Structure 1
C-alpha cells in the first residue's frame, strides 16, 4: 500500500512537472532539439517551423523580421482586421499599439506591465492564456518577444541597434542562424589579394609572410634578426593595407621607425617584445584605430607611455611584463579602461 502511494505521488509529480515545462518552453521542449532517432521513437515529428535564416544582423528589423512572423503564426488568426477578439487587432503595428478593449497590451521596457507578455506566459489552464490553442508560443518565441519588449518594443529598430543581451544570443543563433558576437576587425576587411610579386619583394627584404587563410587576403608578417633597417621596414608601406599582424620581436627596431608601423590601417596585432623600444616609440602608434593586441614585454617603456596606450581606443590587450611601468599605475589604467586587459606577468 505504501509503495503504491509512492508510485502514485511520483507519477503526479512527473505529469505536473511536464506540464510546467510545456508552459515555459512549449509542448515540444523535450523533443525539439533531440536527435532525429529519439524524436521518431517518441512519436515527435522531425519537421521544423519555417523560420527565416539571416546572415547579417545589421539588416534584420526586429519587429518586421522576428516579432511579426511570430504574431502572424500564433496570434493574428484571432486578432486581425475581420476578427478582433477582445477588441485587439495584431495585424499591423498601429492597431497593435492601440491595444484591446480595456487597455494597452504593451509597456515598452517593462514586461511586468505588458499584458501581451503576461497572457502568453500564464499557466495554460488559465482562461486568459493566449493563444487558447495547442499551437502555443515556443520557449524561443517567448524569449524573443520578451527581449523585444525589454528593449523598448521598437517597430523600426534593427537587431544591432538594440542591446543584444546574453540570454537572447543563443536564441538568435539557434532560431535565426546568426551570431551577434562582433567579428574581429581582420575578419571584416575586404581587399583584393596581393599578387605574388609584391609578396616576393617582401620576402627578399627579409620578411616572413603568411596569409591568414585561403579566403582572407590579410597578412601575418614577421621580421627576425638584428639587421633590420628603416629602409627595409619602409617596404611595408607598399602593402600597408594588407598587413594585420606584425612581429618585430627581438629585432633592432628603433623608436623613430615605428612611424612607418603607425600608418598600417588594418593592423590588429603588434609584437615588439624584447626590443629597445621606449615611450617615444609607443607615441608613434596612437593612430592605429584597429590595434587589438600590443606586446611590449621586456622593452624600455615606463609609466610615461600609459597615456599614449590609452589613446589607442581599440586596444584589448597590452603586455607590460618586465618593463619600467609601475604595476599600480598599470592597474589604475586598466580600471579606467574596462575593456583593456593589462598583462603584467608574475610577481
Structure 2
C-alpha cells in the first residue's frame, strides 16, 4: 500500500514535467531554423543545450507518467500507445541531442530529418495525452455544429430518459443502466474492461470484475459499485476517475436499487418506493410515483362526439372527467332502464370509469354487462333492488375502488364477492342485510378496505 501511494505521489508530477520538453525542444528547433534562415555558419551551442534539457525533462515526464498510468484511472488501449510513444520520444530526443552536439558530423538532411520526426512525435503524443485526460472529442467538443458534422463527431446524449408510468418501467433497463451508460461504460464495456469489469449487459455486471462481484443484493454498503462512487474524489479508487461524477440523486437511486435486491427484470411498480426516494425519481426521470387512481393511469383515445351523443339519446347523462382524460362519468336515475340501454354502454365499456344507476330499476342479471367494464372505478347502486346475486356479477371488476350498495337487498352472502374485488377501497352498506359483525370482520381481513355501515 505504501509503495502504491508513493508511486501515485510521483505520478502526480507528470503534468508538471510534461510541458517542459515541448518548450525546450520547440525552442531548439525554432532557434536552429532561425539561424539557417539568417545564414549563420555555425550553430549556436544553445541548440544542443536546449535539446539536452528537452530530453532530460521528457525522461522525467515519461517516468512520472508511467507511475500515473498505474493508478488505474486510464483506459488500457490508449494508455499503452501514449506510454510507449513517450518512451520513444525520450530516445529520439537524446539521439537528437547527440546529433546537435556533434553538429559538424551530420548533414543538413539528418538535422532537418530529426527535427521533423520529433515535431511529429510531439504532436501525436500531445494529442494522445489530451485524449486520455479530456476525452477523444476534446478538440472539437465546442466546435460549431457544421464542423462537428464534417468531422463525424457523435454527440452522446447525457440526459437520463424521462419516464411516464411506473407499470411500464423496468427498473434496471430504464433507470439504472442509463446511469451506468453515461458515467461508467466508457471504462467498463465490450471494448474496454478496466479491472476486468464489463457493465454492458446485466449478465456481465453480475459476473463482476477481477476481484469478484461488484453488487451485493440488498447490501449497498457492501457493494463495490456503490462504494467506489461514494469515495472521496481525491481517492485513487474513486469512480469515475474522469468526466462528470455521479450526482447525489443518481447515487441515491443506485443505493435504493441495490437495497431492493438489485433486480434486473422487475417493474418499478413491483418494488417498494420509500417516500424519501420519490422526489429523487421525479427529479431524475420526471416520473411521479405517488399512487394515482386507476382512471388517471388509463391511456385511451377519446370517443368521438357521435358516440357520446348516442348515449345521451338513449337516456344517459354523460360527461368526460375533464382535461385530457378521455374516460366518462355516466348516470341514469329513472325507473325505466332496460337491458338494451345497458348494452349501448357495453359498446364503449373501456371508456366508462364512473357509473351511477342509483334509484333505477336495474336488475341483478343486467349487472353481468357492467361486470365487463374493465376500467370502472366507481359504481353507485344505492336505493335499487340489487341482491347478492347482482354483486356476484361484479366480482371480476379488478379496478373498482368505490361501490355504493346503500339501501339495497344484499346480505352477508355478498361479502365473499366483495373480498374478490382487488382494488376495492370503500363500500357503503347502510340499510342492507349485512350484519355489523360481518362487515367489521371483512374490514379486518382487508385492511385497505373501508366498510361503511351495515344492517341498522
Query: Is TM-score (shorter-chain normalized) higher than 0.5?
Result: yes
How far 1:307 moved relative to its partner? Answer: 1.0
After superposition, the Cα gap between the structure-2 partners of 1:63 and 1:203, relative to the gap in structure 1 and judged at 3 Å, is closer
Determine if contact 1:58/1:158 at 8 Å carries over to the other structure: no
Task: Report the 3-state secondary structure (helix = DSSP H, G, I; strand = E; otherwise coil) of the residue aligned with 2:393.
Answer: helix
Shift in Å at residue 123 of structure 1?
Answer: 5.6
Match of 1:285 in 2: 394
CA RMSD of superposed structures (Å): 3.6
Counterpart in 2 of 1:118? 227
1:89 is aligned to 2:184:
no
Map of 2:159 onto structure 1: 50
- Maintained 8 Å contact 1:151/1:162: no
Aligned equivalent of 2:358:
249
Counterpart Cα distance in 2 of 1:79 and 1:259: 58
Give CA-to-partner distance per residue, 1:122-164, whole Å, 9 cap, x none.
4667665545679543221111111222233345x25437514
Residue 190 (str. 1) matches residue 300 (str. 2): yes
Cα distance, 1:177 vs structure 2: 1.3
Cross-structure match for 1:165: 273
1:212 matches 2:325: no
| Whole-Å separation in 2 of the counterparts to 1:60 and 1:229 | 43
Distance 1:310 1:200, change over 3 A: same
Does the Cα contact within 8 Å between 1:289 and 1:314 map onto a contact in 2? yes
Where relative contact order (Cα < 8 A, 6+ residues apart) is larger, the structure is 1
Tell me which residue corresponds to 2:434: 325
Q: CA deviation at 1:201?
A: 4.2
Contact 2:404 2:427 in 1 (8 A): yes
Q: Does 1:298 align with 2:410?
A: no
Equivalent position SS for 1:255:
coil
The answer on whether the counterparts of 2:166 and 2:269 sit within 8 Å (CA) in structure 1 is no
5 Å matches for 1:26-175?
50-57=159-166, 60-75=169-184, 84=194, 87-93=195-201, 96-122=205-231, 129-131=238-240, 135-155=244-264, 157=265, 159-160=267-268, 162-166=270-274, 167-175=276-284
| Distance in 1 separating the partners of 2:185 and 2:340 | 70
Name 2:98's counterpart in structure 1: none
> Which of 249-258 and 270-279 deviates more?
249-258
Alpha-carbon separation, structure 1, partners of 2:207 and 2:346: 61
The Cα shift of 1:209 comes to 1.4
Quote how far apart the aligned CAs of 1:320 are.
Answer: 1.8
Whether 1:268 aligns to 2:377 is yes
**Preserved CA contact (<8 Å) 1:230 1:257:** yes
> In 2, are the aligned partners of 1:205 and 1:232 still within 8 Å (CA)?
yes
The alpha carbon displacement at 1:234 in A equals 4.8
Q: TM-score, normalised by structure 2?
A: 0.54
Is the CA contact 1:76–1:89 (under 8 Å) kept in the aligned structure 2? Answer: no
Mapped contact 2:171–2:268 kept (Cα < 8 A): no
Structure 1: gaps of 5 or more residues: 1-48
Indicate conservation of the 8 Å contact 1:57/1:158, yes or no: no
Identify the match of residue 449 of structure 2 among 326, 331, 340.
Answer: 340
- TM-aligned CA distance change 1:209 to 1:139, over 3 Å: same
| Aligned partners of 1:75 and 1:90 also within 8 Å | no
- Give, in whole Å, the separation in 1 of the partners of 2:435 and 2:216: 51
Please state how far the C-alpha of 1:225 moved relative to its aligned partner: 3.5
Quick check: which one's helix share is greater? 2
